Structures are given as structure tokens and as C-alpha cells.
Structure 1
Amino acid sequence: MTSRRSLWRDLKRRPFLYMLLLPVIAYFIIFKYFPLYGEIIAFKDFRLADGIWGSKWVGLDQFTRLLHSTELLKIVRNTLLLNLYGLVFGFPVPIALAIMLNEIRVEWYKRVVQNLLYLPHFLSWIILGTIVIGLLSPGSGFVNYVLKAFGLEPIYFMGNTFWWPFVYVFSGIWRDAGFSTILYLAAMSSIDPHLYEAARMDGGGKLRQIWHVTLPGIRSTIALMLVLQMGRMFDVGFEHIWALTNPMVTSVSDVMSTYIYRLGLVNLQYSYTTAIGLVQSLVGLVLVLLVNRVIRAMGERALW
């Protein structure tokens, strides 16, 4: 009751500040919560002519079909492997970039590097995918041109099932690492400078300062980003995959999002793909809750 009264008093004191929340609240209600109504389709044999309520109720039949699907194992494996590669290779990169940028003392150079790192995040995957394919082209790509200069055979990166996952992961790092660096730089700005002075007085060099001051100072931010990353372990963005995939690598590039697109939008199997999406969301929720609980047990600040 006390918290409600304090919230109401604060609302009356700063009404225009709270009005800024209205577009955000409207966004989540319209695009995140209202579509949950459509999850009913997962328990029906949905037909467009009959509508959601008019379609036949089939209970858990769609989930049973999913469990007996011959493609399920391949799709789950590809989804988890690509996310695991992204976690292992991609998660430490923004931390390392933030640490290096934090050590730069020439402000104009630091701003230029930051802008160059952030820029790919604001480009669509269609543009970035075209650039990646062009750079890795076996005939005219810059990477294969360098390989030829060293007397090596050109590699068809985009058509090779071994190299394609690496292309996917490192293109994702190229696009998103710079933007994630912002969060770590913001966390580093709140570290007390006297801690660095104390470390220097104790004879600690740069590496010791980073290990004993910088990393502990951003530990809670790292934990928070890890929780959010784990929530996406069962999900792969559609645009990234679609911009880089081709029929030669579907054995490693066919994931949950492309499978849902192919069956749901192309083959009109709405009920089945809704069931897949529901399972995908539930697994993501369980992973977030589990990792959040583990981080709290370790004494770190988590999402809640």
C-alpha cells in the first residue's frame, strides 16, 4: 500500500515524465501481449475460412506431431549450435572492445573508432549479407584474392557446410558487437577512478587493473547480458539466416525461424508452426529463469 501511495505521489509530481512511457507501453501491449491471443491456434486445426474460434479443437495433436517430426532433431541441433558458437565466440568480443576503447585517451580517435564499430548495427541484414557474400566470393572476393596471393586455393565459404557457420557467427559479431560495447562502456564509466589509482600505487599494471578493477566493476552488466543471451538460445533471427543461406548449406543453416517460415507462411501450416513457436518461447523462458536463478545464487545482480 505504501509503495502505491509513493508511486501515485510521484506520478502527480512528474506527470509529463511518465507520459513518455505511454508509447513504450502501447508498443508492448499491441505488438507483444495482444498477439498472445493467437497462441490458441496451436491447439486447433486452424483454417482461415473458419477463423480462430471456428476451427476444430485438436488439443495437443500439433505438439505430438512436432515430437515425431523427422526434421526436429536437425533443426534443434542447428539452432543450438549456431547460438552456442555465437555465445562462445561473440559474447566476449564486446567486453574486449569496451576495455580497449576505455583505455584510449585521445578523445577524437576514440569517437571515430566508436562510430565505426556502431555503424553496422544500423544497416539491414540484406545490405550486410550482400557485403559478406561479395567479400567471400570464390571468384572476385577480397578474402579469396588474399588467399590466392599466398598461393592457396580459393574457398567457397558460402557453399561449404564447414565454413558457413563461422561466416554466420563472425558476421553477427561484426554487426552487433559494437552496439553491445555501449552498455559495457556505460558500466565502466561508473567505476570509481580512485580504484585505478589505488591499483597503480600497489604496483598493478594495465592488465592487473583490468582484471582486478574493470572486470569486477562491470560484472553485474556481464551477468545481465548473459541472462538475455541465454533467453535467445532457442531462437535465431530470421533475417540474418535468410540473407546468408543457400540450398547448398541447408543441412547446417535450417533453423527454427526458417523452418517456421517455410511451413507456416509458404505451406500455410499455421497451427503446427504456432505450436513450434510456443515451445520455442517456453524453452527460452525456462532458460532465462534458470540462468537468472544461478546468477542470483552466485551473489550477482540479475534481472530480478
Structure 2
Amino acid sequence: MEELASRSGTAGTAAGTRTGVYRNNALGRLKRDKWLYVLLLPGVLYFIIFKYVPMWGILIAFQNYQPFAGFWRSEWVGFEHFQLFFQNPDFFKLLRNTLILSLYNLLFYFPVPIVLALLLNEVRLAIFKRTVQTLIYVPHFISMVIVASLTYVLLTTEGGLVNELIVKYGGEKIDFLASPDWFRPLIILQLIWKESGFGTILFLAALAGVDAEQYEAAIMDGASRWRQLWHITLPGIRSTIVILLILRMGDILENGFEQIYLMTNALNREVADVFDTYVYFMGITQGAFSYSTAVGLFKAVVGVVLIVASNWLAKKFGQSGLY
């Protein structure tokens, strides 16, 4: 018994010593890197104030929220708003439109920044490379209102450049802006033009981290540029592609309110209505705050589930994933 007590005492002393060492090391690192933590503070405060504190607002998804009554005095209705949403005849139309746009996004927009980055990586003339990079970055900083206005000027049937060219070469005018068949292609083309250049930044950074010695060894073995691309370059940025794809899966029900809203009109609304615009119309124009919050919470939960599932699937195939 005495020996057991002695061992327990020794173990407790050792554990206490380790805890003290860890605490001292943590305090030492905090003191040593204090200015780095000071620089970190604005970002932390931003997320706390603008991301985490507003999450209390999801409470109204389970209430019949009345602004004059506030959060705590409004009537609690549980999942009533979710039931109304799922039973709404527009639910499947909204889901279909949202998923089709997201599928187009994955198929046509997502690969474009990768292809651009690979092409730019092969350019050896530095001046030309920087010029092209600048030109394709610029649209990212243009407001979506300006993009929609440019689209209107180019495609309108009343003097639009594209339709004038079609007529000049013997064709008939096409009402791009009002046609439901053209709505989704226009949205994806706008997205590609505006964001694909800026999206190359991460892939170019990943390409810069690929070991140059692998290329040298491949050249010595007689590998062509295509073989180098397939066996060295793409595997080198595969983890970046997978991570961005996982994050994109979390936004599968997010199509961007501003762009969709600006391009929607009475003639293409049947294919243009998505969850983002539905939340706006129900919450802002009709004042159904609790109902629109329930719709937004549904989107968020689906996004989290898809991120977790995509991350699990990526790990099953041997990728690192997000965590």
C-alpha cells in the first residue's frame, strides 16, 4: 500500500510538473509573440461581432417573431415554419433551380480558374504573364450592378451589339435577357468572366509550391510537357483542388442573391427563382422574418452536412480534407 501511494504521489507530482511546464511554455509563447496576437485581435473581433453574435438570430426561425415583442416575448412555434416551407408548392421549384445553377457552376465555372492557372504557369515571358494576370483579375473588382448593365447593353434587342451583329450576318434577333433558356448560361458566363481570373490566385500559389526538381528529373527522363502536367503539376495541386471543392459543396444552395436578382425579370422568373431571392422576397418585401430565417437555416444546415460528407468522402479516397 505504501509503495502504491508512493507511486501515485510520484505520478501526481510528475503530472503537476508537466502541467506547470506547459503553462509556463504557453505564457512564454504568449509573451514572446504578443504583437502577433495583437495583429490577430481585429480578425477575431470581426468574426465574433459579425459572424457569431448574429447567430442568435436563428432563434426566430422557431418563433412567430414580432419585432415589437423581441426575441424572448415572441410566441414559440417550434418547427412550424419549416413544415410550411417544405409543404409550399414552390419548394421543389426553388430546389430544382438552385441545384441546376450549382451543378452548372461546378461543371463549367469551377474548372476554369484551374485551367487558367495551368496556362499561366506555362508562360515564361514575365511581362506577358503579369499583363494577362492583371487583365483577368480586374473584372473581380467590378460591381455586379455594372456587370448586369454591361450584359443588358450587349444583349438587349433594342440596339444591343450582339443582336446587331446577328442581324448583320443574316440572323434574327434573340431575346437573351427575357428567355428562360438563356438565363442559366448568362449567369455562368457572367461568373466566369468576373471571378475566374481572381480564382487563379490560390492555384498559382499552389503551383509555386511544386518541387522544381521533379520537373528537372522528368525532363531528364524525356517526359513531354503534357506528361509533366499530368504526373507532376496536377498531383501537386490536387489537395488545393479538393479543399476548394469541399468548400464549394458547402455553398451548393448558395447562388448569390445580387446577381440572380439583377438578372431576373417577369419572363424568366420560372427558372430564376432560387432560395436566395426567395428569402429576400419573403423576409424583406413581405415581412415574414421567422419564415425567411427558417429557409436560411435550412440552407445552412444542408451546407454543413454536405461539407462534412464531402470531407469524409475525400479522406476515404486518400486526400487530406479540411480536418
TM over 0.5: yes
> Partner residue of 2:207?
188
**Paired residues of 1:238 and 1:257 also in contact (CA < 8 A):** yes
One-letter identity of the residue aligned with 2:198: F
- Does structure 1 residue 203 correspond to structure 2 residue 203? no
For residue 4 of structure 1, report the CA deviation from its aligned partner.
6.8
Q: Measure, in 2, the Cα distance between the counterparts of 1:14 and 1:76.
A: 49
Q: Measure, in 1, the Cα distance between the counterparts of 2:299 and 2:70.
A: 24
**Count of aligned positions:** 304
> Partner residue of 2:16?
none
Q: Measure, in 1, the Cα distance between the counterparts of 2:27 and 2:106.
A: 42
Alignment of 1:122-141 (within 5 A): 122-141=141-160
Q: Deviations over 1:114-164 (max 9, x none)?
A: 111111111211111111221222232232233233322221111111111
> Partner residue of 1:110?
129
For residue 3 of structure 1, report the CA deviation from its aligned partner.
7.2
Percentage of identical aligned residues = 43
1:165 pairs with one of 184, 208, 216: 184
Q: Deviations over 1:254-297 (max 9, x none)?
A: 11110010010000000101111111100000000000111111
Q: Measure, in 2, the Cα distance between the counterparts of 1:142 and 1:6.
A: 67
- Does structure 1 residue 296 correspond to structure 2 residue 311? no
Rate the CA distance shift 1:13–1:140 in 2: closer, same or farther, 3 A: same
Q: Measure, in 2, the Cα distance between the counterparts of 1:47 and 1:13.
A: 51
SS of 2:321's equivalent? coil
> Partner residue of 1:64?
83
Identify unmatched segments of 5+ residues in structure 1: none
- Does structure 1 residue 30 correspond to structure 2 residue 16? no
For residue 210 of structure 1, report the CA deviation from its aligned partner.
0.9
One-letter identity of the residue aligned with 2:322: L
Pair member with larger Rg: 2
Between 1 and 2, higher relative CO (CA 8 Å, sep ≥ 6) is seen in 1
Q: Deviations over 1:90-129 (max 9, x none)?
A: 1110000000101111111111111111111112111111
Q: Measure, in 1, the Cα distance between the counterparts of 2:22 and 2:315.
A: 24
> Partner residue of 1:251?
270
Rate the CA distance shift 1:247–1:15 in 2: closer, same or farther, 3 A: same
Rate the CA distance shift 1:6–1:178 in 2: closer, same or farther, 3 A: farther
Greater mean alpha carbon deviation, residues 128-137 or residues 181-190:
128-137
One-letter identity of the residue aligned with 1:156: D
Q: Measure, in 2, the Cα distance between the counterparts of 1:8 and 1:245.
A: 56
1:262 pairs with one of 278, 281, 286: 281
Identify unmatched segments of 5+ residues in structure 2: 1-18
Q: Measure, in 2, the Cα distance between the counterparts of 1:134 and 1:84.
A: 28
Q: Measure, in 2, the Cα distance between the counterparts of 1:301 and 1:28.
A: 26
Greater mean alpha carbon deviation, residues 70-79 or residues 152-161:
152-161
Under a length normalisation based on structure 1, what TM-score does the superposition of the two structures give? 0.96
**Paired residues of 1:76 and 1:255 also in contact (CA < 8 A):** yes
Rate the CA distance shift 1:302–1:7 in 2: closer, same or farther, 3 A: farther
- Does structure 1 residue 220 correspond to structure 2 residue 234? no
1:273 pairs with one of 292, 300, 304: 292
2:174 pairs with one of 147, 152, 155: 155
Under a length normalisation based on structure 2, what TM-score does the superposition of the two structures give? 0.91
SS of 1:248's equivalent? coil
Greater mean alpha carbon deviation, residues 224-233 or residues 294-303:
294-303
Q: Measure, in 2, the Cα distance between the counterparts of 1:161 and 1:6.
A: 63
**Paired residues of 1:133 and 1:244 also in contact (CA < 8 A):** no
**Paired residues of 1:161 and 1:252 also in contact (CA < 8 A):** yes
